[in-house]
Structure 1
């Protein structure tokens, strides 16, 4: 097996690392204090990211994106993960679901998103439908045109419903909204047929509200979206009717790799800080790192971190070969996100009381780590995906 990075990948890691150090990290304390990114700062960082060629690195070259392969993108996300998420997300990755745009959708949504002129958010989760996506209640009902024709190329839809836990909707121009457009019979009963829509957030009937405050990732807000009799022309349907679930699955694989990679980046930053503390903090006349109660957990942290990174890079490599399965992405997301939780918790223990003080960044990383095991599919969902893939071939 070949573990060496290419010259291009080494250059990418170095470029992104310097961008994090010079352009993002200096603002981390301010974002934490304000629980917001000042608009002027957000614009400045985006402009610098575009100038540096880091913006929309995940999108195809023919759309104006960076066209990076999955392994290179994983390395990018690992480096970006070393800073706060609110700042990290300014070096944007438009949702790869937008690659399904056709015709006018490309000029109205896809290309402006790649250029950084418009920003998307993904509206999937609902108050009563989190992991059980197919039970969503948001509905898009077909309406006929003036002649009474309600065929695929005529009329449109009326959208009603509520979404919550929608990341950065307060900074987005449009949402990729998943809604039920019908039902189908399955071996497990009647299930909703899901369709994706492109919805401008300034459309009449759309309301965006900040959600409840969250202990994780200050400055990166989750929002609630309410749709009340929102008119949607048929041209704003993304993909075919009833195929939104397939589009969603395409996004979730890339998204889970992103969570895994950023978790690894944060875990590495926390380990570095913990090593510095263990080497410099003295008790009983020697560095605390010499005590086995501190040094052995450090060894475990470093070992598990290497394992998580290899697991994630392997999934990314398989993605580039066209062989990545849902299980591969689930394993990477599960292990890396839970590793981050273990490492940040052990870091607090090593720092002692100071680990919980706002003067040091450890408590911030500890708080931020908790959400990674929940969004983009909980740890329980990942375990379900993994165990199902093991048992199904045996008929269970």
Structure 2
């Protein structure tokens, strides 16, 4: 297997890395100090990203995106994700569900997103239904040519800064060999639709400038034209999105682990105790070796999985799960050891380590918990053996 990057991919990686270092990382201190991302800063970063062709680089060329393959897009995610989440997200990579827009949806939702004029959020999780989508209580009931939606979604990322939501709701029930199953459908809903409240979310650990919101639907009326795919095809839409989403989390984790490691290595080489750099003591050098190995394994797993996605390999689901669970847990280990390497300075805001440590914890939860990833992996192991 050839692990070398093409000349174009090398150039793309360097371009994105430089963009992150010059346009994103310098604003991290402001974000940490205020917990706010100024709107004018967000728009400025977006304009600069669009000028470089980074905006919507994950979207197909057929809808106006750059049409990057999975390996190339993973390089973009790694480059941008060295910075704080809120800053990295100023460079918009729209949810790829929007590529399925048809008819009126194209002009109303897709095209404004591609022009950088609108922003979407996605709503699946509910107070009583997180990983168990079949437990979803938000319902959409048919009313003539419309649907009436009632229910609550929470942990909705950046809804207050978005224009519309990609919503998943139950639209009925069907009998299966294992009993009744809810039919889940996907809708695109403007956030200023009557009856839809975007409420303040929860105070949370880490990710300054990132917001989570609660969406309350009280007899919200949407048209048939706002449904993505067919009625009851929501699980298919989710499956098409979840794999790439989990791979993105893995890329984020590798990028942040690399940055934390670089800080730790630099500190170990410069900090002197007992007349020599602390990196020469085995108590410091051996953990650094373990960190380097951990990161290398995660990066190889990540890039191999991205390559498999591009090859349309049949085992993508569990590969993405493996990448997500390993890289998210690896980031936690590396961030913790990087702080230990730097001692007291590791927990000071002068270094980015305490932020990376705080931000790392949620990576093992969103886009499917570590337990869910292990369930996906082990289930496939059993299926392959007829169990």
| TM-score of Structure 1 vs Structure 2, range by shorter chain | over 0.9
Q: 2:239 aligns with which of 238, 243, 249?
A: 249
Q: Distance in 2 between matches of 1:288 and 1:238?
A: 57
The match for 1:260 is 250
What residue number does 2:114 align with? Answer: 114
Q: Which residue of 151, 163, 169 corresponds with 1:161?
A: 151
Which residue number corresponds to residue 319 of structure 1? 309
Cross-structure match for 2:370: 379
Match of 2:352 in 1: 361
The yes-or-no answer on 1:333 pairing with 2:324 is: yes
Residues 138-287 of structure 1: pairs in structure 2 closer than 5 A: 138-144=138-144, 155-287=145-277
**Cα shift at 1:34:** 1.4
- Structure 2: how far apart are the matches of 1:184 and 1:308? 41
Where does residue 295 of structure 2 map in the other structure?
A: 305
Asked if the contact 2:63/2:99 (under 8 Å) is kept, the reply is: no
Provide the rounded CA distance (Å) in 1 between the counterparts of 2:261 and 2:342: 12
**Contact 2:139 2:151 (C-alpha < 8 Å) held by counterparts:** yes
Q: Secondary structure at the residue paired with 1:62?
A: helix
Aligned to 2:36: 36
Could you list the structure 1 runs, at least 4 aligned residues long, displaced by more than 6 angstroms after superposition: none
Tell me if structure 2 keeps the 8 A contact 1:169–1:175.
yes
Secondary structure at 2:384 match in 1: helix
Measured after TM superposition, the shift of residue 210 of structure 1 is: 2.4
May I ask how many residue pairs the two structures share in their alignment? 386
| 1:82 and 2:107 matched | no
- Structure 2 counterpart of 1:69: 69
How much does 1:76 deviate?
Answer: 0.6
Counterpart in the other structure of 1:288? 278
CA distance in 2 between partners of 1:185 and 1:313 (Å): 40
Match for residue 149 of structure 1? Answer: none
CA shift digits 1:268-313 (9 cap, x unpaired): 0000000011111112222111111111110011111111111111
- What secondary structure does 2:142 align onto? strand
SS in 2 for 1:184: strand
State the alpha-carbon separation in 2 of the partners of residues 336 and 202 from structure 1.
Answer: 38
Q: Deviation per CA, 1:305-360: give whole Å up to 9, x if none.
A: 11111111111111111115210110111111111010001111111222112232
- In structure 2, the residue corresponding to 1:394 is in which secondary structure? coil
Question: How far apart, in 2, do the equivalents of 1:186 and 1:369 lie?
Answer: 40
Aligned to 1:56: 56
- Tell me the distance in 1 between the aligned counterparts of 2:196 and 2:189: 9
List runs of 5+ in structure 1 lacking aligned partners: 145-154
How does the TM-score come out when normalised to structure 1? 0.96
Q: CA deviation at 1:208?
A: 0.8
- Residue 135 of structure 1 contacts residue 191 of structure 1 at CA under 8 Å; is this kept in 2? no
Task: Output the TM-score relative to the length of structure 2.
Answer: 0.98
CA RMSD of aligned residues (A): 1.0
Q: Name which of structure 1's ranges 197-206 and 354-363 shifts more when overlaid on structure 2.
A: 354-363
> Contact between 1:211 and 1:224, CA under 8 Å: does it hold in 2?
yes
Moved more, 181-190 or 359-368: 181-190
Secondary structure of 2:239 counterpart: helix
